[in-house]
Structure 1
Amino acid sequence: MPTSLCGTWDMISNVNFEGYMSALGISVYLRKIALRLKLRKVIEQQGDQYIIKTLSTFKNYTISFKIGQEFEEFTKGLDNRHMKSTATWQGNKLLCEQTGEKKNRSWIHWVEGDKLHLELYCEGEVCKQVYRKNVNE
């Protein structure tokens, strides 16, 4: 059984976010705003349904999916693209492959100790984010 990703997680590091956003085609103006944000992830599991919320003072984004089932994703407020996504467990890592107009797009979440790791991939760019579990849970 994979490690639980559930909980509230606050960002503590964000490496190459600008490179990743540039690969997505996000404008310089929005990249500058996004780079100043401290993101919070809220991950929930309800039966076989996962819900991942990315929260900030600027925009929020929520996805909901079942492991192994392809789902339609619209990244409204991010890069505003439609794609087909599928999340699967690979050991203790939750991998999501995203198929659409951008090549080699995906993300991976995993937990080590009290930290949630997230790697975001798009067209050769890799963004590495680390979150710490919120102590108020």
Structure 2
Amino acid sequence: MPTSLCGTWDMISNVNFDAYMNALGIGVYLRKIALRLKLRKVIEQQGDQYIIKTLSTFRNYAISFKTGQEFEEFTKGLDNRHIKVRTDVVNVGNKLTCEQVGEKKNRGWAHWVEGDKLHLELHCDGEVCKQVFKKNVNE
């Protein structure tokens, strides 16, 4: 199992987010709003069940899944897509990874912890966005 991802994490950097959202087909207006947001991640785990919440002043999104099980996801509040998802916890590199199968090619993400930082790498159709979060000090 990976290093614990659990906790509340505040965004400190967000690289190539605009190009990633463009690859998803998100319109310019929504991209401009999203680029201004400072996201907060709240990650909870109970056994092999994860709940990952992405919170902002504009929209919130939550996903719940069990590792290693395929499930349907509706990305309401993000890019509003219905996708089939495969998730797996990868021991090498302590990453929680997800590959999303749907209308977009090579779409997915990986979360991992290095030191006191949570890293999130999002990819879609050749574009890669790298986000870094720091653990919330009030936790």
After TM superposition, is the score higher than 0.5? yes
Matches within 5 A, 1:39-118: 39-91=39-91, 92-118=94-120
Query: Number of aligned pairs?
Result: 137
Using the TM superposition, give the Cα deviation of residue 79 of structure 1 relative to its aligned residue in structure 2, in angstroms: 1.1
- The amino acid that maps onto 2:96 is L
Structure 1: any 5+ residue segments left out of the alignment? none
In the alignment, the residues of structure 2 paired with residue 118 and residue 2 of structure 1 have an alpha-carbon distance, to the nearest angstrom, of 14
Q: Deviations over 1:36-55 (max 9, x none)?
A: 00000000012321000000
Residue 11 of structure 2: aligned partner: 11
1:22 paired with 2:9, answer no
Q: Secondary structure at the match of 1:85?
A: strand
Quote the offset at 1:87 in angstroms. Answer: 1.4
Which amino acid is 1:35 matched to? L
Cα-to-partner distance string for 1:27-77 (whole Å, 9 max, x where unaligned): 100000000000000000123210000000000000000010001101112
Asked whether the 8 Å contact 2:2–2:112 carries over to 1, the reply is: no
Q: Distance in 2 between matches of 1:112 and 1:4?
A: 11
The correspondence for 1:135, drawn from 123, 134, 137, is 137
Separation in 1 of the partners of 2:90 and 2:46? 20
Cα RMSD after superposing both structures:
0.7
Q: State the alpha-carbon separation in 1 of the partners of residues 101 and 44 from structure 2.
A: 24
Aligned equivalents of 2:25, 2:68: Cα separation in 1: 28
Match of residue 37 from structure 1: 37
Identical-pair percentage: 83
Q: Distance in 1 between matches of 2:138 and 2:98?
A: 28
Distance 2:80 2:17 in 1: 17
**Which ranges in structure 2 are unaligned for 5 or more consecutive residues?**
none
